[in-house]
Structure 1
Amino acid sequence: MKRISVLIDIAPATPYDRAVIELCAEQQAEIEARYPGAGEAPKGIDPQIDFLVARIGDEAVGCGGLRPLEPRVAEVTRMYVRPAHRGQGISRRLLQSLEELARTRGVRTLRLETGDLQPESIGLYQSSGYRRIPAFGPYIGNILSLCFEKHV
């Protein structure tokens, strides 16, 4: 099999950026398809989230965000890569870039939530050094949620 390298640009974006809005809508549609009727999807995008968008050329292919939780603690949220671009290491690069952003902001602990039906996400987080923790914040009591944490 021939291996192809692609140039991925990861840059900051606001919650109001068109690419962020489109990617987050796609992410929520995919979550609803995996967990039909599991609950109401969040309305809108939290304006406190600092986003990074991954692009190949002019095409936005993925995003992820950091939401402050408490001093020196933030949540990795809204991680998503379009299906056609999965398997190219984009999620891992986004996660590493979010960790770097967190460190520059004085964040020392990152938390995140994913669902029990998302083995690819679970694998990414565990292989990136995140460890399982009890549910936090809005995920407490949600039996489908798996929460993770990493000290950066």
Structure 2
Amino acid sequence: MSDHCEVAIVRWPGPTPPIEDGLVALLAAYHLRTEAEKGESVADVDGLPDRYRAEITDPLTAFAGDVVLVALIGDAPVGCLVMTSLAGGQSEIKRLWTDPESRGRGIASALLGAALAHAAQNGVDTVRLSVWEWRTGAIALYERLGFSVTRSWDERDQLVCMQRAA
């Protein structure tokens, strides 16, 4: 049985308790796990490719113009999601991550729901995302929320591209 609890979704930066350290930790965990899953394991953040390390060292600059959502249980950041700024009627979901110890509590669903609501309120026609094919649980969640597989816009092997109307 899932342990559903009170999850608050907040926009970062914003008038919330200081959560940047928690966001940075979530982003670091996301990137380190992803690199390991791709078979390119690195020991720490310093070993990540520059583009990923930049998100961790300076998320305010890396995500300027994007919407960054953070899920909180109490004051503890337990999940994050980045939605790119509107371009050509589309926004893209990136960096959806839930702390492994907090999974099964509806956090990813809550983050996605907030992102889709934001998209609908801000003139987005299509929301798209990409996900590694081995993340079958994430793919199933996206499909439950109305995303469907579409032609790839990314050349990386084993990447599944999905989209849905906002």
TM-score range, shorter chain: 0.7 to 0.9
Structure with the higher fraction of residues in strand conformation:
1
Distance 2:3 2:157 in 1: 40
Segments of 4+ moved more than 3 angstroms: 38-41
Secondary structure at 1:42's aligned position in 2?
helix
Q: CA deviation at 1:119?
A: 0.7
Distance 1:97 1:124 in 2: 15
User: Unpaired segments of 5 or more residues in structure 2?
Assistant: 14-18, 42-47, 56-61
Asked whether 1:18 is paired with 2:21, we answer yes
Distance 1:112 1:127 in 2: 14
Instruction: Using structure 2 for the length normalisation, give the TM-score.
Output: 0.80
**Structure 1 counterpart of 2:54:** 44
Structure with the higher fraction of residues in helix conformation:
2
- Identity, in percent, stands at 24
CA RMSD of aligned residues (A): 2.1
Distance 2:139 2:105 in 1: 17
2:38 aligns with one of 24, 35, 40: 35
Instruction: Using structure 1 for the length normalisation, give the TM-score.
Output: 0.87
Asked whether 1:58 is paired with 2:75, we answer yes
Distance 1:23 1:4 in 2: 21
Amino acid aligned to 2:32? A
Distance 2:150 2:36 in 1: 26
The count of aligned residue pairs is: 147
Q: CA deviation at 1:19?
A: 2.5
Spell out, residue by residue over 1:67-110, the C-alpha distance to the aligned partner (whole angstroms, 9 max, x if none).
12523210011100000111111101110100011112211210
